[in-house]
Structure 1
Amino acid sequence: MFKTPIAAVVLAIELFSLDLTFASLLPLLMASISSVLTSYFFLGDETLFSFNVVDKFTINDAAPYILLGLGTSIGSIYFTKIYFAVYSFFDRFKTPFLKVLVGGLTIGVMLYFIPPLYGEGLSFTKDLFEGDHLQALGATPFDDFIDNIWVVIALLVGFTIFKTFAMTITFAAGGVGGVIIPTMVMGSALGNVVAKVLNNLGLGLQVSEANFTLVGMAGLIAGVIHAPLTAIFLIAEITGGYELFIPLMITVAISFLITKQSMEHTIYTRELAERGDLLTHDRDQNVLTLMTLESVIEKNFKPIHPEMTLGDMLHEGVSKSTRNLFPVIDDNRILVGIVLLDDIREFMFDTSLYETMKVQNFMHNPPEHIIFEKDNMKAVMQKFQNTEAWNLPVIKDGKYLGFVSKSKLLTAYRRKLINFTR
């Protein structure tokens, strides 16, 4: 889409915290190069934005770019919180019609006051690059006051604030679209606002509005999706603005560090994290995420009934089993306890007890249960660690399903770890 093959690979690695192994890198490289070649074939090699660096970076610009990093970090936190809040609000509506009705009316009101909110906003950003904020804002109800630079700044601030609402309401009401371009457009407005404020405070500062517009895009992307390297390479590649690497690095680093401390997960990764499906740089977590509970369940344990006599248990259970543990199952296949071979060892050769003692005299509760519908592999591993057990029963729909043994679990873990890091 952006003709940025390097940024595409870096995005996948940063966004989903992939380990940079040959196994994970090669598919990313192949996907990226095939995509960008297809884009070149049909659309040519023009970049999304045409940007020429006129104002070079100097050491005196470092402090303003630090300020821009602070601004984009605040904007990133705001963006993320509004995104989830709007989705939560629209989840209250039970029918798609109500979502469309409320969403359409809300966006209509916002577009009346701030027309540039309509569409992706690429032309808006291009106009800011060219220094034409009047063309970027278009016709508004405040045209009589547009000669006042502070009115222009206020309108740009309004655009920055409500762009998040417009984008998220569109999605939440049933529309489709991407996140990165609206983030870039919002970041360009935020960067332009910071530059205009600095230039008009009367402090003798004079910063490049075009450069701040560009770097603001990177700062917001880094904060919103927690991908600082992606933000740097993406903006540099789509604009050809490689001469601004230092201010890009300053703003992006500050924005990312502050946002990462405030927001653990991004709009891309939060749902994955809540489901326990998020890969991270924690290799142990990655391996557990890739493992499935069903693959380690063993069903070759011989079940016995609580009313079964000791003699029947020895003849029907112990003599026909290769395991030293027996699940006690009632008529409804509900697990009521377990019996270990050690529990009956001192009685199993006393034939006088075969008809008088029953399974319920020996059984006891397992140290923990694994719930098939609820527990992921990380929870299963934690239960083994907490109980120091060698076998734990698995319950599905309230009924006995099988056991997970520590030996099979660790064997499967080691096999998956080898495959993951190969």
Structure 2
Amino acid sequence: MQFTKSFKLQLKELKTITITSILIGFLASFLAISLKRITEHYEAILFFKANSNSVFYFLFPLIGLTIIYFLRKYLFKNKENKGIKEIFESISSSSKKLPLYKIPSHFINGLLTVIFGGSTGIEVSTVVASATIGSVAQQKSGFLNQYKTEFICAGVAAGITALFCSPIAGILFALEVISRKVTKIFLITTIISVTVASSLLFLLDEPALFPISVTTWHLYAIPYFILLGVLAGANSVLLTKSVLFFKNQFSKIENAFYKIAIATLLLGMTISFFPTLYGDSYHGIKEIIAHPNTSFTITFFISIIGILILKPLLTSVTLASGGDGGVFAPSIVIGGFLGLFVATFVNTVFNANVIPINFIIIGMAALLSASIHAPFTALFLVCGITNDYTLFFPILMVCLVSKYTAKWIYPFTVYSYSLKAVKS
């Protein structure tokens, strides 16, 4: 009799977990797809407007950051968005919750940051908002409280799946970055949520972010792939240290409008010379995929070096001045341009005859892997956004090289740094 009651209770709990996971998967993926589509639409409109008159390169960041400041002050409880660190704080403490207002806060602020030229992306905004959906759902039933981490991971996994059309990347990101451990409930909740997210992607016919057709890769390119991995690891440290440095320096400025003014000037002046740096810069990646460079000229050299150095700095300024976002999009963009740079350089100087498009794709994965210390997430994420697995093995190899190069140079990411790390 006691066994029967226990079995029925377990079935009831499993049913509740399943239904909750389905709801989380649908809400998180719907949020992610909505934010992605709205951002793409309005970013394209405003970027076109800014290209017609460079004054808007200054005006748009000023408008975006100012609106975000007032929204945060008067609508979102005057609390700073800390990005993924908010998730870690919630998971590490039973008393800390991700409050409901984090969903509109990150959705709206992430949207405004990118469409008005802030040099970051909506990925981290989506991750935190999706995690909040999982956190709020978990709070609705008493026995679900013990599975807070699992339901947060379910929301995160569904959000990443919807953004990048890769359910495996969604699960791996939740595992490698958020949970860092596997439980039976983790597998149940994340698999259900990403299945729902994948179904929604199918129903909405959501396209890959960078649909690319890769035909082959060559063994003789392996040394150059390794070189790309080492350079990606080093460049990711520039991105990480830039974010930490500027956040630390801007925190010393008490007047929020001074922060906004400084960021506006830096963003406006830089984007005027390098329009590719506007917003998430995915338009720049689409351009080099469509027309990869074949000659190593002075103009090409200056343009690429400018992007590789300035994108980390502008991302850091955007985040330090109150913009909402993270290092996902900047890592993908910087990695893509770094890959093109390496391919063009070795083809010109060493007559290597490597395929530039392969290096662009591998570079995106390598720099993301190094920036977040999650090589398997980067591997499946980039395969998902290109909808091609031809480069699976070279991407895996380079992601591991870039991660351990970055860890050797500097052991922290923007997610794991401490105050001591910032000062070092």
Q: Check whether TM > 0.5.
A: yes
Query: Post-superposition shift, 1:250?
Result: 1.9
Structure 2 counterpart SS, 1:185: helix
Q: Pick the structure with more strand per residue.
A: 1
Work out whether 1:3 is the aligned partner of 2:165.
yes
Query: Post-superposition shift, 1:123?
Result: 1.5
Aligned position for 1:409:
none
Structure 2 counterpart SS, 1:120: coil
What stretches of structure 1 of length at least 5 have no aligned partner? 135-146, 275-422
Measured against aligned partners, the alpha-carbon deviations of 1:260-279 in whole angstroms (never above 9, x if no partner) come to 233333212336999xxxxx
**Distance in 2 separating the partners of 1:254 and 1:189:** 18
**Distance in 2 separating the partners of 1:192 and 1:204:** 15
Aligned position for 1:160:
308
Query: Post-superposition shift, 1:199?
Result: 1.2
Aligned position for 2:322:
174
Aligned position for 1:212:
359
Q: Residue type of the partner of 1:215? A: I
Change (3 A) 1:168 1:184: same
Aligned position for 1:68:
228
Change (3 A) 1:48 1:17: same
Work out whether 1:253 is the aligned partner of 2:400.
yes
1:127–1:133 Cα contact (<8 Å) kept = no
Work out whether 1:118 is the aligned partner of 2:266.
no
Q: Residue type of the partner of 1:122? A: Y
Change (3 A) 1:101 1:241: same
Aligned position for 1:291:
none
1:15–1:225 Cα contact (<8 Å) kept = yes
**Distance in 2 separating the partners of 1:272 and 1:20:** 29
Change (3 A) 1:165 1:49: same
Looking at CA atoms only, which structure, 1 or 2, has the larger radius of gyration? 1
**Distance in 1 separating the partners of 2:337 and 2:374:** 20
Work out whether 1:59 is the aligned partner of 2:202.
no
**Distance in 2 separating the partners of 1:31 and 1:272:** 35
Q: Residue type of the partner of 2:344? A: K
Aligned position for 1:238:
385
Query: Post-superposition shift, 1:132?
Result: 4.5
Measured against aligned partners, the alpha-carbon deviations of 1:249-295 in whole angstroms (never above 9, x if no partner) come to 22111101111233333212336999xxxxxxxxxxxxxxxxxxxxx
Change (3 A) 1:186 1:148: closer
1:116–1:124 Cα contact (<8 Å) kept = yes
Change (3 A) 1:28 1:270: farther
Query: Post-superposition shift, 1:220?
Result: 0.2
Structure 2 counterpart SS, 1:171: helix
1:191–1:215 Cα contact (<8 Å) kept = yes
1:153–1:196 Cα contact (<8 Å) kept = no
Query: Post-superposition shift, 1:226?
Result: 0.2
Aligned position for 2:183:
21
1:76–1:223 Cα contact (<8 Å) kept = yes
**Distance in 2 separating the partners of 1:265 and 1:37:** 36
1:130–1:210 Cα contact (<8 Å) kept = no
**Distance in 2 separating the partners of 1:212 and 1:194:** 8
Q: Which residues of 2 match residues 22-421 of structure 1 at below 5 A?
A: 22-41=184-203, 43-54=204-215, 56-132=216-292, 149-201=297-349, 203-270=350-417
Q: Pick the structure with more helix per residue.
A: 2
**Distance in 1 separating the partners of 2:419 and 2:255:** 26
Q: Residue type of the partner of 1:111? A: I
**Distance in 2 separating the partners of 1:173 and 1:38:** 35
Q: Which has the higher contact order (CA 8 A, sep 6+)?
A: 2
1:18–1:24 Cα contact (<8 Å) kept = no
- Alignment TM-score, normalising by the size of structure 1: 0.58
**Distance in 2 separating the partners of 1:33 and 1:178:** 26
Q: Residue type of the partner of 2:332? A: M
Q: Residue type of the partner of 1:15? A: V
Query: Post-superposition shift, 1:238?
Result: 1.3
2:296–2:348 Cα contact (<8 Å) kept = no
Cα RMSD (Å) of the superposition? 2.2
**Distance in 2 separating the partners of 1:50 and 1:44:** 13
Query: Post-superposition shift, 1:148?
Result: 6.8
2:366–2:399 Cα contact (<8 Å) kept = yes
**Distance in 1 separating the partners of 2:322 and 2:244:** 15
**Distance in 2 separating the partners of 1:35 and 1:166:** 32
**Distance in 2 separating the partners of 1:227 and 1:184:** 13
**Distance in 1 separating the partners of 2:417 and 2:210:** 31
Structure 1 counterpart SS, 2:209: coil
**Distance in 1 separating the partners of 2:167 and 2:192:** 10
2:296–2:344 Cα contact (<8 Å) kept = no
Change (3 A) 1:99 1:63: same
Change (3 A) 1:272 1:233: farther
Query: Post-superposition shift, 1:198?
Result: 0.7
Structure 1 counterpart SS, 2:413: coil
Change (3 A) 1:235 1:272: farther
- Alignment TM-score, normalising by the size of structure 2: 0.58
Aligned position for 1:375:
none
Query: Post-superposition shift, 1:133?
Result: 5.1
